Amino acid sequence: MDQHRRKFILQWADNAMILGQRLSEWCGHGPILEQDIAITNIALDLIGEARYLYQLLAKEEGGSVTEDDYPFLRKEQSFYNLLLVEQPNEDWAFTIVRQCIFDHFHFHFLMEMKNSADPALAAIAEKTLKEARYHLKYSSEWLIRLGDGTDESHQKMQNALQTMVKFVGEAYEPVEADLAMLEAGIGPDLSNIKEKALSDLKQVVTQSTLVWPNQHFDRTGGKNGSHSEHLGYILATMQYMQRSYPGVEW
């Protein structure tokens, strides 16, 4: 298998899997019952998207490899997700800001990927686009509701945005796999996605009466396997059963 294509697929899948795992932490802890269910459903959507991609890789790599090997048997350095998606939930404000930032990238990424020269990847993008559109609507509405809400909610959202903005740029900075897939007609031009996604995101921020931070330093490395300490804790929880009882089956 082309290693650039493999890494590109893992970047996509790992984003969905790790964010889905993060959001699943809200199950039973949401601010109100309706949102507890909604955010859990978004987590399931993302994990389902990751499964499509892991299943594709397992089928192509063959042998004894299964879809479970990718999320449960790799170490931190072999995950290629954005630093953004592994950041802690903190509170509802941080969760919504993180989600809104990701959803704007994710939606426009899938919009481009549905026209990929790779039929299998185009089909997965087409299949998951409807869910991504809902995710984007959900997080954008919450950003506006809380940003333009009470003084307290506004301040919490502004603080969350100030913290999270340093993770925005990594999604749009191409690594070697992104460039190889663009040249092959398989992957999107991230500079085009950046222009569309950030324009839309900043419009939502304006509607929410929040202020987009002018000074920030982009944090990168996740797409090449260099992560924050937070990913290790996620994997410790997510991989516990397989690590403790290798090959266990229900």
- Residues 81-121: tens digit of each pLDDT: 999 999 999 999 999 999 999 999 999 999 999 999 999 99
Contact yes or no for 54/70 (Cβ under 8 A): yes
**What does the pLDDT average to over 172-195?**
97
| pTM of this structure | 0.95
Please report the pLDDT score of residue 34 as a whole number: 81
Please report the pLDDT score of residue 249 as a whole number: 76
Q: Give every CB contact of residue 171 below 8 A, 6+ residues apart in sequence.
A: 82, 84, 102, 105, 190, 194
The token pair that represents 115 in the structure block:
């026209």
**pLDDT exceeds 70 at position 1:** no
Percentage of the chain beyond pLDDT 70 is 99
The one-letter amino acid code at 24 reads S
Percentage of the chain beyond pLDDT 90 is 87
- Half-sphere exposure (CA, 13 Å, Cβ side) for 9? 25
Range name among 50-59, 197-206, 211-220 with the lowest pLDDT average: 211-220
Contact yes or no for 231/86 (Cβ under 8 A): yes
**What does the pLDDT average to over 121-132?**
97
DSSP secondary structure of the chain: --HHHHHHHHHHHHHHHHHHHHHHTTTTT-SSHHHHHHHHHHHHHHHHHHHHHHHHHHHHH-TT--TTHHHHS--GGG----HHHHS---SHHHHHHHHHHHHHHHHHHHHHHTT-SSHHHHHHHHHHHHHHHHHHHHHHHHHHHHHTS-HHHHHHHHHHHHHHGGGSGGGGS--HHHHHHHHTTSS--HHHHHHHHHHHHHHHHHHTT----S-------GGGT---HHHHHHHHHHTHHHHHSTT---
